[in-house]
Each structure stands twice: as structure tokens, then as C-alpha cells.
Amino acid sequence: MDTNGKYLTLNGQPVAVNGDKNLLELIRANGIELPTFCYHSKLSVYGACRLCIVDIEGMGIVTSCSTKPAPGMVVRTHTEQLRKMRRVFLELLLANHHQSCTTCGKSDACKLQELSRQMDVTNVRFPAIPKDLPVDVSSPSLVRDPNKCILCGDCVRACSEIQGIGAIDFAGRGSSTVVAPA
């Protein structure tokens, strides 16, 4: 082991801390896959989906996307408690999603469906939050269905941070929150 103490323990194994942006990237660089929905390496950290949670000794359960790795950390990624919590978080995302998957054009390329299969979530115990919002077809280049939005924030951050426009943001509170123009 390094004499400078530049290691953390990841699932029982020493791993070098080399200035990684966050724990999620360090974990993935070491061949461990953690589920995420809202994380994008080119965008700011939002941490809304909570799927990338890890258990850090002395800190408890935290999101790996928003936690900077530090020497001496003892990190566990796939305990039974974490797996159960991830499934609940995914069910909550699904409950906030218009569930017309069989007729959706993204059905074969849907990250939400992919994560559901990976985590074996076949049933949502939480009541669906009814939405019946109009589909926005005002742009010739973009069709936006707010009924399928799970508020991951990717579009808001991409519009602001990549496009430099900032034309959309979150509006409303609680279950009435939507992504909308100003």
C-alpha cells in the first residue's frame, strides 16, 4: 500500500485516490457498475435519482456522484440495504412516470426500462401520480412529453451548461413540479 495514504477501501479492496471528480467515477473506473439516471459526466451534479448511493463507514449512505473520494474512506457499493433502497428509489421514479411503455417510441431504448430490468423491478407499489399534460410539439426539432418526465434535470442542465441558453428550468413545487420555459 502507498505510504502517502492515497488509498480508500472499496468493497474490501484498496483503491488509489487520484483526484477523481467523484466516487461514482472512481467506482466505475475500478470495474464496478452503479446504476444512475440523472448523472452525466459532462454536466454538473444534480443527485436527484439517488440510485448511485453507497455506504461510507462513518458517513452513512450518500450519493456517490456528489461525494469526493478521500483517502481512508471505507466504501461499500452493493450491500443488501443499498440494493433495497435503490429498488424503492426506482419505484418512486416509475410512479412519477406515465406508464405507457408498450406504445412509447423509446421503449427499446429507455434507460428507465433498462434499470428496471437490471434491478428486477417489475411491480410499482406506489400509486402513480396522475398526469395529463399536453405534449409540446411547438418546435419542429423537439417533441416533449411532460407526462413521461421524471425530473432528472438532464434537459435543464444541458440547456444551460452545454447550449448556454437556459430557456427551461423547474417550475412549481412538490408533485406539481414540471420542466418549463420561464
pTM: 0.83
Residue 36 pLDDT > 50: yes
Q: Residues 76-106: pLDDT tens digits?
A: 999 999 999 999 999 888 887 766 666 677 7
Give the pLDDT confidence score for residue 1 in this predicted structure. 45
Give the pLDDT confidence score for residue 142 in this predicted structure. 74
pLDDT band with cut points at 50, 70 and 90 for residue 2: very low
Residues 132-141: contacts with CB under 8 Å, at least 24 apart: 133/178
Pairing of the two strands 7-10 and 53-56: unpaired
Give the pLDDT confidence score for residue 99 in this predicted structure. 66
Pairing of the two strands 74-76 and 7-10: parallel
Q: Helix/strand/coil (H, E, C) string of the chain?
A: CCCCCCEEEECCEEEECCCCCCHHHHHHHCCCCCCCCCCCCCCCCCCCCCCCEEEECCCEEEEHHHCCCCCCCEEECCCHHHHHHHHHHHHHHHHCCCCCHHHCCCHHHCHHHHHHHHCCCCCCCCCCCCCCCCCEEEECCEEECHHHCCCCCHHHHHHHHHCCCCCEEEECCHHHCEEEEC
Position with higher pLDDT, 62 vs 145: 62
Mean pLDDT of 132-158: 85
Return the percentage of the chain with pLDDT > 90, whole number.
42
Give the pLDDT confidence score for residue 102 in this predicted structure. 61
Give the C-alpha separation, 116 to 119, whole Å: 5
Mean pLDDT of 47-69: 95
